[in-house]
Chain A
Amino acid sequence: MIYFILICILFLLMIGASVYAIIQKDLLYAVMATGIISLILSILYYLLQAPDVALTEAAIGVALTTIIFVITIRNTVRMEDESDKKEKFKSAVK
């Protein structure tokens, strides 16, 4: 029973973090939210008795993917800006 409640709470946290990642305009915060999703997912894998997958998810999802996104944001723009998306795309293509 206690495991069921814990899993439900973790699922709700995951859904909350994903919604936050979608609506957030600051991309750095959105990337951190996706990292939190991966962290909760790895805890869930561990609770569901898949420690191998949990280890993979923790190492790749939390550490590597997040940091590669952070480096990409560092190289591009941080704030999501929808007003001049087309202009930026044109200048990026050139």
Chain B
Amino acid sequence: MKKVLVILLLAVLGYYTAATFFDIGFGQPHFIKGLEPVKDIYLAQTVKTLKVSNAVTSIVVNFRGFDTLGEVTVLFLAVTVLGSVLYKKRHEVGERSVLFSASSIVTSGSKLLFPAIILLGAYVFIHGHLSPGGGFQGGVIIATGFLLMLLSYENYSVSHTALSVVESLAGITFAGVGLLGFLHGGTFLQNFLPTGVLNNLFSGGIIPIIYIAVGFKVGAELTGVIYTVLHEKGQSNG
């Protein structure tokens, strides 16, 4: 009886998967039969309506903005799980478990490089709608800067409460800006600000705001990951 049920379930699943695949027109200009090619609409709307010069950004944040929210949520969940797995051990120890001995050249050099790395990260996510890059990339660059400081200074510490406050505020900003689109009489994450002039820094409506929020969020999360991993107490024999 159980086996029959399993086979039935697999058959239903297989049928719907296959049906979806048969609807996709591989090699056709129309990806799904009977609809207009979506890439032309996106590319035309990117320049005309949204006034964003980087087409990747307009697709990631505007047309596929809900997917980006999902990605950010997945990252948040992963960081939370990592923190909850390693929390008890960190609480017991309270100090750095992984130490890398750094020479004075490394310490003074990283002190010089740290502001430049943070500036580069901020530049990448503020100019996400104008040049290649965006929230994720900028956030990771910022996390790399903190990583450099954590590796070169043994007593360098990042406040966990500050990290979580920044992370939560950025997440709330993202979701709140998305919900404001509802209030403005449209859909989730719809643009409601003036779009400005193409190629200007203040253009693209809500896209720069969302990308700045994503940048802060990703930077805080990944800094938290590195900080947690560095404070994990293990048997250090390597």
| Chain A residues within 8 Å of B, Cβ to Cβ | 51-52, 54-56, 59-60, 63-64, 67-68, 71-78
Contacts and interface: CB of A to CB of B under 8 A. Distances in A.
Contact of A76 (B151, B226, B229, B234): B234
B238 A51 contact: no
Contact of A68 (B100, B133, B225): B225
Given A55-B124, A56-B137, A68-B226, A75 B98 contact: yes
Contacts of B225: 68
B237 A77 contact: yes
A46 to B, nearest CB: 9
A55 B226 contact: no
Given A52-B56, A59-B144, A64-B144, A74 B137 contact: no
B97 to A, nearest CB: 7
B147 A78 contact: no
B133 A52 contact: yes
A68 B235 CA distance: 17
A67 B226 contact: yes
B140 A74 contact: no
Nearest to A79: B238
Given A63-B147, A68-B229, A52 B238 contact: no
Given A52-B134, A78-B238, A71 B230 contact: yes
Contacts of B104: none
A75 B232 contact: yes
Contacts of B230: 71
Interface of B: 54, 56-57, 97-98, 100, 124, 132-134, 136-137, 140-141, 143-144, 147, 151, 222, 225-226, 229-230, 232, 234-238
Given A52-B134, A75-B232, A59 B226 contact: no
A35 B173 CA distance: 34
Given A52-B132, A63-B140, A68-B229, A74 B147 contact: no
Nearest to B57: A52
Given A52-B56, A76-B234, A77-B237, A59 B137 contact: yes
B234 A59 contact: no
Closest CB pairs A-B (n = 3) = A51-B132, A75-B234, A59-B140
15 contacts: A52-B56, A52-B132, A52-B137, A59-B137, A59-B144, A63-B147, A68-B229, A71-B229, A71-B230, A74-B100, A75-B97, A75-B234, A75-B236, A75-B238, A76-B235
Nearest to A46: B132
Given A52-B56, A55-B133, A56-B140, A64 B98 contact: no
Given A52-B134, A64-B222, A75-B232, A59 B141 contact: yes
B133 A74 contact: no
Chain A CB within 10 A, most for which of B57, B137, B222, B226: B137
Nearest to B97: A75
Chain B CB within 10 A, most for which of A55, A63, A77, A78: A55
Nearest to A68: B229
A71 B100 CA distance: 9
